A = this chain, B = another copy of it.
Amino acid sequence: MRYAVIMAGGAGTRLWPMSRTGKPKQLLRFIPDEAGGQARSLLQIAAQRLRGLVAPENIYVCTGAAYAHQVLADLPLLPAAQLLGEPMGRDTANAVGFSAAILHKRDPDALFAVLTADHIIEPLDTFQALMNKGFDAVEKHPETLVTFGITPTAPATGFGYVQRGAEIEDCPGVFRVRSFKEKPDEETARQYLATGTYAWNSGMFVWKAATILEQLRLHLPAAHDGLMKIAAAWGTPRQEEVLHALYPTLPKVSIDVAVMEKAPSVATIAMPVKWLDVGSWPAFAQTLHADPFGNRTNGPAVHMGSTNVLSVTEDPSHLVATINCDGLIIIHTPGATLVCPAADAEKIKALVAQVETTQGKSFI
């Protein structure tokens, strides 16, 4: 049986002031609908992306327990039993392992895809076809961990890379992983791009629950032990007690470092898709159409003489108006307004820290 777990544990400080403590980016309904419908959240888009690929009763969401109420409101058809609430973040090895342990308890033969809730991925049919290819490969080779790469379109230095080796004979388009690479410098990234055998490491996987658990047992036994105890208590009266007692003790590490770089059978599939991490305002801007002067807006706006302005409002009845501005990001929320040059968008994290220091927690 095929399952999917959407990882929705992010925070999103770089999208302040729209993302706030307790209101992470994947739950912001701020992605415009091309067909003119209401804006949706990244989580809603991630869930809809699975329509026709995985049955609704097999779709899980792994998120912070604090967001459970909001996630259930965001996905009204998600049964509460399919929401995996982490008491706190313990990095991806445990989010993945937690999901694997619960799924394995439900279905020892479960295969599952790990998906992110941070991205826009297009076109849909390419994504679904290659996800299916991953499931097919794991059905044929249940010991194999499949990681998805994104076919690079530029020598990006902001991603890790996965280098492919030989194609697996009975799985066309599925390749052995030769190596994982840290974020490269630009020269190295250019070489990666030129070879055609490197892809961006996407954080999406397909594997058998039993296999990833076995690899965790071998390479991260402390986590495996805790997670199996949590799974044993799952669905019993002791569920919450055990979860809260053990989760904080799990070693905090990424699944890449804990398992992927050590496991004996790792394969990769490259997705030639548009893959947009909507984790910053300049990235969000890419989801909006530009006017002839490069201005983009998600609501009522008048940009007189302005160029390359991004204006975003959380309130569809709020107007943003500018005169002769260039390259500015202007974000309006009922509680706070942000204005900064797009070139300084990476400084928003530092700004939020300064807001907390000088204004207290009410604005963050």
Binding site for B on A (CB under 8 A): 17, 300, 302, 304-305, 313, 317-325, 328, 330, 332, 334-341, 344, 347-348, 350-351, 354-355, 358-359, 363
Known A-B contacts A319-B363, A363-B300; the reply to A324 vs B337 at CB < 8 A is no
Residues of B within 8 A of A335 (CB): 317-319
Of all A-B residue pairs in the complex, the 7 with the closest CB atoms, nearest first, are A323-B340, A319-B336, A322-B339, A323-B344, A319-B363, A320-B337, A324-B344
Task: Find out whether the CB atom of B319 lies under 8 angstroms from the CB atom of A340.
Answer: no
Task: Find out whether the CB atom of A321 lies under 8 angstroms from the CB atom of B300.
Answer: no
Contact partner of A321 (CB less than 8 A), chosen from B302, B313, B321, B336, is B336
Question: How many copies altogether?
Answer: 2
Task: Find out whether the CB atom of B338 lies under 8 angstroms from the CB atom of A324.
Answer: no
How far does the Cβ of A96 sit from chain B's closest Cβ, in whole Å? 36
Task: Find out whether the CB atom of A325 lies under 8 angstroms from the CB atom of B340.
Answer: yes
How far does the Cβ of A9 sit from chain B's closest Cβ, in whole Å? 26
Residues of B within 8 A of A325 (CB): 328, 339-341
How far does the Cβ of A331 sit from chain B's closest Cβ, in whole Å? 9
Contact partner of A340 (CB less than 8 A), chosen from B17, B324, B363, is B324
Complex alpha-carbon distance, A144 and B9, angstroms: 79
Residues of B within 8 A of A328 (CB): 325, 339
Complex alpha-carbon distance, A351 and B306, angstroms: 12
Complex alpha-carbon distance, A132 and B300, angstroms: 52
Residues of B within 8 A of A350 (CB): 304
Complex alpha-carbon distance, A320 and B339, angstroms: 8
Task: Find out whether the CB atom of A304 lies under 8 angstroms from the CB atom of B337.
Answer: no
Task: Find out whether the CB atom of B323 lies under 8 angstroms from the CB atom of A359.
Answer: no
Known A-B contacts A302-B355, A321-B355, A354-B302; the reply to A337 vs B341 at CB < 8 A is no
Residues of B within 8 A of A313 (CB): 337
Residues of B within 8 A of A334 (CB): 318, 334
Task: Find out whether the CB atom of B348 lies under 8 angstroms from the CB atom of A339.
Answer: no
Task: Find out whether the CB atom of A336 lies under 8 angstroms from the CB atom of B320.
Answer: yes
Known A-B contacts A300-B363, A302-B359; the reply to A347 vs B323 at CB < 8 A is yes
Complex alpha-carbon distance, A355 and B302, angstroms: 6
User: Which of chain B's residues has its CB closest to A358's CB?
Assistant: B302
How far does the Cβ of A352 sit from chain B's closest Cβ, in whole Å? 8
Q: A302-B358, A322-B340, A323-B347 are in contact. List 8 more A-B contacts (CB 8 A).
A: A302-B355, A302-B359, A305-B344, A324-B340, A325-B328, A325-B340, A330-B337, A332-B337
